[in-house]
Amino acid sequence: MSKYWSNIVKEIKPYVPGEQPHNKKFIKLNTNENPYPPSINVISAIKNAANESLRLYPDPTCNELKEIVAQYYGLKKEHIFVGNGSDELLAFSFLAFFNPGDTIIFPDITYTFYEVYASLFRINYMTIPVDDNFNIPIEKFYGNNDGIIIANPNAPTGIAVHIDSIRNILEKNISKVVIIDEAYIDFGGESSVELLKEYPNILILHTLSKSRSLAGLRIGLALGNGDLIEGLNRVKNSINSYTVDRIALIGAEEAFKDKVYFEEVRAKIIFTRKAISKKLKELGFMVVDSKANFIFISHPKVHALQLFKKLKEYGVLVRHFNRPRIDNYLRVSIGTDEEMEYFYGVLKDLLRPSPNPAR
């Protein structure tokens, strides 16, 4: 605590991201990175873009990327905002659409960064408890709020919300902004992009960090109607005119162009998720039905924290959240088949009835 800090900085509890080990020997199943590399077209485009033009500022409007993304989703350029990862987009959205003193709502079990943004910008929030199976009670999001944010699929559970539920929420909150955080949408959920044409109050957030294997480049997208996008532009131009660099723009463009590779990668991850889920259930695990690139698991006999520690000891990093209702769960990113095989082997050994109880 420093006397030089502002009050909010004294009070705030910053978000704590998953561990990024400097020791590369770990199997990293803790930050939902993609186990497969980006498209080779991304790599070669970046190599080409490493040239003298780096002396110049990037295009602050991200025009070319917007054109490509617009075409991909069947939208117009005016519907798209480009940011430095979807976390930056969340921060900008909270500033752009919610006032200090407003009360926004989101599920009690969700991305924990939402409460940090709310605190930072002095926005009140109320959490809506998910049910015992982690399902979001949709009707509780009908009115009585100054804004809504829902992750779909939700994190860290992986549970997806049906598009009709999103439609109902939009309908019942037509004068408020409803943010749908679709960071994990490409792994089996149903995107709400088509609802943009019907509803002026939906803002959809995407990231290239997950399904497009570009966590290292920092690119997120916001999709919404023109005046919401303009609100985000106003925030950006009051903070940092150029948040996305030349290399990231070019990498993102190529990632969107290579649809074949994108489809291949996400199909592989979905396949691996199904396979590991089945095997873990056979080991007695409760496996939440995930539409994301991670699974949320719990075992009736061994506490999650114990599993976490054992996995780390064996070189596997997963995520444990020391929070009410979910402290006996682990969030495990979907790695390659080989990585999941090793992860499964560690758990299997651990859960095997020991011949020597003293051990």
Residues 45-64 that bind a copy of itself (CB under 8 A): 46-47, 50-60, 63
CA atoms within 13 A on the CB side of 345: 9
Using CB under 8 A as the binding rule, the residues of this chain from 290 to 319 that contact a copy of itself are none
**Residue 25 within binding range of a copy of itself, rule CB under 8 A:** no
CA atoms within 13 A on the CB side of 128: 20
Using CB under 8 A as the binding rule, the residues of this chain from 216 to 235 that contact a copy of itself are 216-218, 227-228, 230-231, 233-235
**Residue 131 within binding range of a copy of itself, rule CB under 8 A:** no
- List the one residue from 41, 103, 112, 119 that touches a copy of itself (CB under 8 A): 119
- List the one residue from 145, 157, 173, 213 that touches a copy of itself (CB under 8 A): 213
**Helix spans in the chain (H):** 7-11, 40-49, 63-73, 85-97, 113-120, 163-172, 226-236, 246-257, 259-282, 304-313, 337-351
Determine the number of helices (DSSP H) and then strands (DSSP E) in the chain: 11, 12
- List the one residue from 110, 157, 173, 243 that touches a copy of itself (CB under 8 A): 243
Peptide bond into 324 cis (omega under 30): no
Q: Which stretch binds a copy of itself (CB under 8 A): 113-121, 148-156, 310-318, 325-333?
A: 113-121
- What does the angle CA 108 – CA 269 – CA 62 come to, to the nearest 5 degrees? 75
Using CB under 8 A as the binding rule, the residues of this chain from 266 to 295 that contact a copy of itself are none
Shortest distance, position 238 Cβ to a copy of itself, whole Å: 5
Shortest distance, position 104 Cβ to a copy of itself, whole Å: 11
Nearer to a copy of itself, 132 or 227 (CB): 227
- List the one residue from 68, 251, 288, 294 that touches a copy of itself (CB under 8 A): 251
- Asked if 183 and 206 count as a contact pair (C-beta separation under 8 A), the reply is yes
- Asked if 237 and 268 count as a contact pair (C-beta separation under 8 A), the reply is no
107 membership: H or E segment, kind and range: strand 103-107
Shortest distance, position 252 Cβ to a copy of itself, whole Å: 11
